[in-house]
Amino acid sequence: MQASPALERAAELVALAVNARLQSGGAAMLPLEAADRQAWRPNCAVANCYASGAVGMAAHSDRMTALGPCPIIASLSLGATRCFRLHRTQRVDLWEGAGGTGSGSPHDTAVAAGADVVRVDLQLAHNQLLVMWPPTQETWKHEVTKTSKPFTLHKRSGATRFNLTFRRMKPGWEHRVPTCRCGRPAVMKAHVPKQPIQQQQPTRQLRYYYACESDGRTKASCGFFVDVPHVATLA
């Protein structure tokens, strides 16, 4: 679908902010593809509308199937202020400055608060840009919590919050997606260890696999599973 001129302009401004951080060296130790280090350009956006505090988004990590491993995802909040909650699923061994202070990276917040932090709540206000630097999708889940408590309304949208996440589909990744035994395109996920977070040794390498996307309604899955021959090594 063709982006509107306003969305194109928003994408440009978001890319400027992300590239300023990349070029200042703030993301030097993050697992980023060479192309992303030179200049990050989003080529798609996902829009969400939260009409009231009764509408949220359940904990998830964003699909990497078409984005490839270690994507940068830049999330622009518009309208009412809502809580964005991150849950850590995997400990990683990253240099403490990775991502740069104030980037919105949960690693920064977790490092500042102590290595065992497993949950971070951020109040995302109108016009705020949160950058989910890699490996956020591999090592954290995120959600927009529902709330029945008062929250900061916006002068024009009231209780409604809009969110735009800017992403870059990496050429090649969507073409290598295998078909599972149900005949559907498989989804790419990161391996996450099963032990509780406090008992985990920090991970230095991230591994991926393709799996059957179980049917959302029946949860039926053919059990298809194949390792992806791509390893992201952390600094």
Ligand X SMILES: O=C(O)CCC(=O)C(=O)O
Q: Give the footprint of Fe ion on this chain (CB under 5 A).
A: 62
Task: Spell out the residues 6+ positions from residue 171 whose beta carbon is closer than 8 angstroms to its own.
Answer: none
126 binds, among Fe ion, ligand X, none (CB under 5 to 8 A by kind): none
DSSP state of 235: -
33 binds, among Fe ion, ligand X, none (CB under 5 to 8 A by kind): none
Rounded least distance, CB 113 to Fe ion, Å: 22
Amino acid of residue 164: L
Nearest residue to ligand X, using CB?
163
Pick the closest to residue 129 from 53, 190, 77 (CA basis).
Answer: 77
Rounded least distance, CB 142 to Fe ion, Å: 6
- CA–CA separation, 24 and 28 (whole Å): 9
Rounded least distance, CB 177 to ligand X, Å: 19
With beta carbons less than 8 A apart as the criterion, state whether 71 and 169 touch.
no
Site residues for ligand X per CB under 6 A: 46, 48, 57, 62, 75, 84, 142, 144, 163, 165
Which CB sits closer to ligand X, 84 or 210? Answer: 84
Which CB sits closer to ligand X, 21 or 142? Answer: 142
Using only C-alpha atoms, the chain has a radius of gyration, in whole angstroms, of 18
With beta carbons less than 8 A apart as the criterion, state whether 146 and 56 touch.
yes
20 binds, among ligand X, Fe ion, none (CB under 5 to 8 A by kind): none
Rounded least distance, CB 176 to Fe ion, Å: 23
- CA–CA separation, 190 and 100 (whole Å): 24
Which CB sits closer to Fe ion, 33 or 62? Answer: 62
163 binds, among ligand X, Fe ion, none (CB under 5 to 8 A by kind): ligand X
Which CB sits closer to Fe ion, 62 or 213? Answer: 62
123 binds, among ligand X, Fe ion, none (CB under 5 to 8 A by kind): none
Angle at 130 between CA 72 and CA 49, to 5 degrees: 100
Rounded least distance, CB 131 to ligand X, Å: 12
Exposure of 9 by Cβ count < 10 A (0-12 exposed, 13-18 middle, 19+ buried)?
A: exposed
- 134 is written with which tokens? 């890699």
- 68 is written with which tokens? 């490839």
39 binds, among Fe ion, ligand X, none (CB under 5 to 8 A by kind): none
Rounded least distance, CB 165 to ligand X, Å: 5
